[in-house]
């Protein structure tokens, strides 16, 4: 049997208000389960209406797609994973409860466990309470099932099949053998360092349950996506777009197309429906419009969080009220695909900066090249870390692992490998004759020592210069932000740098401004400080030394 879960025309469908959910593979199975789902009552709505009375058609399409992927003749579930990304207040958790109660009702396997995995106790209650309410609101279901509120468990009195709601922050998923699993608020799991291992443990029982499936539900994250959420989001976007062929995974993503994000069409009330398919039912367009008006002038980051939660606009950077002004211009100045090698090819002179390097810190490096002909500044960054930073800074561990997967952050097993790798990169630039004769590599004056590694790499001492930190960097900070605003500072669009720039906090000190690690707290800014060190040297308008080892090796770069 051939089927596809890709939806390459999803953007046109969402704009036109059409469904992005495919028809069920087995319509009879889908309709059977939908008939049960429609009879369940939503107890927190006036009059306790059934799902059939209060839901929009997209909900029914989703339910049919899930249960309609089951082949009753073979006992195999043909689509094993589902991902629903939808804006807040579209009854996501209530629908999740209804789907899992439906699965429990039609379950044929005795002693089977169904699992709702929530990141916190509060989110767990948001799913369990509606599920328990559906049972209590129906006399037949009340006779069929036993509810244990204190363990958040619903058990079939005859087959002993159960539905258990587990909070990841208080309960354990070890030893679970669940056939059907629903993961609620995946974006929160993206902030947990152990989320991947937790999912592996929770889904392990499906190896012997061919009828099993996993449903991931989420709104957008209130911070730039990270960890398992970013991983799943990127993967399911590729499946939806047809870049990855995976007919056993079904993505249902209510998000704005890229052209509407760039034009900020999401600000128009007429387009609110794109990420709010429950518009007119559980979501009010007038309320969204009012809240948008109230939040748009705020500068503490709450406006971006409102857009993320209610319109599914992905947050690219943390833009708080004390942010560096350059952060407002960072993303537009990114040039995807720009590599260090290309930067060097396009540059007439290059400076570098180095910062950090403690065991619970990042070693950051920044390279600034002045482009031939245009005079634009081109930037490339990299960072190194020892794995101990993942233990010392667990709150940032998922994000650091993402940067490691991107290649912008290098995890080194041995202390010293980071400095040696850095020295090797700087030596390549030196060998090409792009560094000035002196004052080419700026170092934090109170940072770790690099002399031995640089000497081993045959990097001349006269290239190294200490850069005063604190208020003395104020002029450089303003120079870089002005160059970004006027479009003459271009960077490699690296997620690592976007995160670090978003972490940078400004302090006003007398007539100057400072970006300090103390103000940024545990959030990392070392690559930003390295970028500023390199920028301070480039602001001196240096000329390349012209020294190139390649001149004596038969290769000349011009």
Q: Does residue 349 sit within a domain?
A: yes
Q: For residue 78, give Cα distances in angstroms to 138, 215, 465, 479, 487.
A: 32, 14, 62, 57, 50
Q: What's the pLDDT score for residue 357?
A: 66
Q: What's the pLDDT score for residue 558?
A: 29
Give the domain-ending residue among 253, 277, 292.
253
pLDDT at 547 over 70: no
Rounded average pLDDT over 109-136? 91
Residues 43, 44, 46, 50: is their CA dihedral positive or negative?
negative
Q: Are residues 210 and 297 in the same domain?
A: no
Of the pLDDT bands very low, low, confident and very high (cuts 50, 70, 90), residue 320 is low
Q: What's the pLDDT score for residue 557?
A: 34
Determine the Cα–Cα distance for residues 208 and 513; give it in Å rounded to an integer: 61
Q: Does residue 21 sit within a domain?
A: no
Q: Does residue 512 sit within a domain?
A: yes
Q: What's the pLDDT score for residue 78?
A: 96
Q: Are residues 246 and 265 in the same domain?
A: no
Q: Are residues 193 and 266 in the same domain?
A: no
pLDDT above 90 coverage of the chain, percent = 65
Say if CB 169 and CB 89 are below 8 A apart: no
Q: Are residues 134 and 278 in the same domain?
A: no
Q: Are residues 237 and 367 in the same domain?
A: no
Q: Are residues 486 and 541 in the same domain?
A: yes
Q: Choose among 537, 517, 516: nearest CA to 367.
A: 537
Rounded average pLDDT over 313-338? 81
Q: Does residue 61 sit within a domain?
A: no
| Domain count within the chain | 3
Q: What's the pLDDT score for residue 556?
A: 35
Of the pLDDT bands very low, low, confident and very high (cuts 50, 70, 90), residue 137 is very high
Number of CB atoms found within 10 A of residue 137's CB: 15
Q: Does residue 495 sit within a domain?
A: yes
Rounded average pLDDT over 355-370? 86
Which residues are within 8 A (CB) of 142 and not within 5 positions of it... i.e. 6 or more apart? Answer: 135, 136
Determine the Cα–Cα distance for residues 422 and 39; give it in Å rounded to an integer: 64
* CATH value at residue 433: 3.30.420.240
Q: Which domain holds residue 276?
A: 261-311
Residue 73: DSSP 8-state: T
Of the pLDDT bands very low, low, confident and very high (cuts 50, 70, 90), residue 517 is low
Rounded average pLDDT over 527-547? 90
Q: What's the pLDDT score for residue 536?
A: 94
pLDDT at 374 over 90: yes
Rounded average pLDDT over 28-52? 94
Q: Does residue 322 sit within a domain?
A: no
pLDDT tens-place string over residues 187-234: 999 998 888 888 888 887 777 788 899 999 999 999 889 999 999 999
Say if CB 124 and CB 73 are below 8 A apart: no
Q: Does residue 363 sit within a domain?
A: yes
As given in the structure block, the two tokens for residue 410 are 């290098």
Which of 82-96, 162-176, 303-317 shows the lowest per-residue confidence on average (mean pLDDT)? 162-176
Q: Are residues 235 and 200 in the same domain?
A: yes
pTM: 0.80
Q: Are residues 351 and 422 in the same domain?
A: yes
Q: What's the pLDDT score for residue 552?
A: 44
Q: Are residues 129 and 213 in the same domain?
A: yes
Q: Are residues 545 and 427 in the same domain?
A: yes
As given in the structure block, the two tokens for residue 416 are 């010293």
As given in the structure block, the two tokens for residue 13 are 């469908």
Q: Does residue 421 sit within a domain?
A: yes
* CATH value at residue 235: 3.40.50.300
Q: Are residues 292 and 245 in the same domain?
A: no
Give the domain-ending residue among 230, 253, 276.
253
pLDDT tens-place string over residues 488-514: 999 999 999 999 998 888 776 655 666
In three-state secondary structure terms, 337 is coil
pLDDT above 70 coverage of the chain, percent = 91
Query: Across all residues in the chain, what is the average pLDDT?
Result: 88
Rounded average pLDDT over 128-138? 94
Q: Are residues 248 and 267 in the same domain?
A: no
pLDDT at 326 over 60: yes
């Amino acid at each position: 049997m051939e089927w596809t879960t890709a939806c390459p025309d999803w953007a046109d469908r969402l704009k036109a208000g059409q469904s992005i959910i495919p028809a069920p593979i087995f319509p009879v199975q889908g309709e059977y389960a939908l008939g049960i789902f429609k009879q369940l009552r939503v107890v927190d709505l006036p009059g306790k209406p059934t799902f059939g009375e209060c839901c929009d058609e997209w909900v029914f399409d989703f339910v049919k797609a899930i249960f309609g992927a089951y082949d009753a003749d073979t006992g195999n579930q043909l689509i094993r994973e589902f991902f629903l990304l939808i804006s807040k207040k579209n009854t996501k958790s209530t629908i999740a409860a209804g789907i899992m109660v439906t699965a429990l009702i039609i379950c044929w396997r005795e002693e089977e466990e169904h699992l709702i995995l929530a990141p916190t106790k509060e989110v767990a209650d948001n799913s369990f309470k509606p599920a328990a309410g559906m049972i209590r609101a129906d006399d037949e279901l009340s006779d069929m099932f036993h509810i244990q509120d204190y363990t958040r468990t619903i058990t079939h009195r005859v087959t002993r099949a159960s539905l258990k709601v587990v909070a990841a922050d208080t309960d354990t998923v070890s030893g679970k053998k669940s056939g059907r699993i629903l993961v609620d608020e995946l974006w929160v799991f993206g902030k947990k360092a152990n989320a991947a291992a937790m999912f592996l443990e929770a889904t392990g029982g499906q190896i012997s349950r061919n009828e099993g499936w996993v449903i991931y539900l989420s709104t957008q994250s209130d911070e730039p996506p990270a960890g398992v959420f970013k991983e799943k989001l990127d993967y399911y976007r590729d499946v939806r777009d047809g870049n990855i062929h995976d007919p056993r995974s079904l993505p249902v993503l209510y998000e704005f197309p890229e052209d509407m994000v760039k034009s900020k069409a999401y600000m128009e009330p007429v387009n609110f429906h794109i990420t709010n398919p429950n518009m007119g039912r559980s979501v009010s367009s007038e309320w969204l419009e009012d809240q948008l008006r109230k939040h748009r002038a705020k500068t503490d980051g709450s406006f971006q969080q409102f857009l993320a939660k209610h319109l599914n606009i992905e947050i690219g950077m943390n833009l708080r009220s004390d942010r560096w002004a350059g952060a407002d211009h960072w993303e537009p100045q990114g040039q995807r695909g720009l590599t260090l090698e290309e930067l060097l090819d396009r540059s007439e002179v290059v400076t570098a900066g180095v910062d950090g390097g403690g065991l619970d810190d990042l070693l950051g490096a920044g390279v600034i090249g002045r482009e031939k002909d245009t005079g634009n500044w081109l930037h490339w960054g990299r960072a190194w870390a020892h794995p101990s930073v993942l233990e010392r800074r667990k709150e940032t561990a998922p994000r650091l692992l993402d940067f490691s997967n991107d290649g912008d952050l290098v995890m080194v097993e041995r202390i010293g490998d980071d400095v040696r790798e850095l020295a090797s990169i700087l030596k390549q630039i030196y060998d090409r004759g792009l560094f000035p004769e002196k004052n080419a590599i700026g170092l934090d004056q109170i940072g770790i020592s690099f002399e031995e590694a640089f000497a081993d790499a045959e990097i001349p001492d006269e290239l190294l210069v200490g850069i005063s930190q604190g208020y003395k960097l104020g002029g450089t900070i303003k120079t870089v932000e002005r160059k970004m605003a006027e479009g003459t500072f271009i960077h490699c669009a690296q997620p690592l740098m976007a995160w670090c720039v978003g972490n940078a906090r400004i302090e006003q000190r007398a007539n100057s401004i400072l970006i300090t690690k103390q103000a940024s707290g545990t959030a990392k800014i070392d690559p930003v400080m390295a970028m500023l060190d390199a920028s301070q040297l480039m602001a001196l308008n240096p000329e390349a030394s012209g020294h190139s080892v390649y001149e004596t090796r038969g290769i000349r770069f011009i």
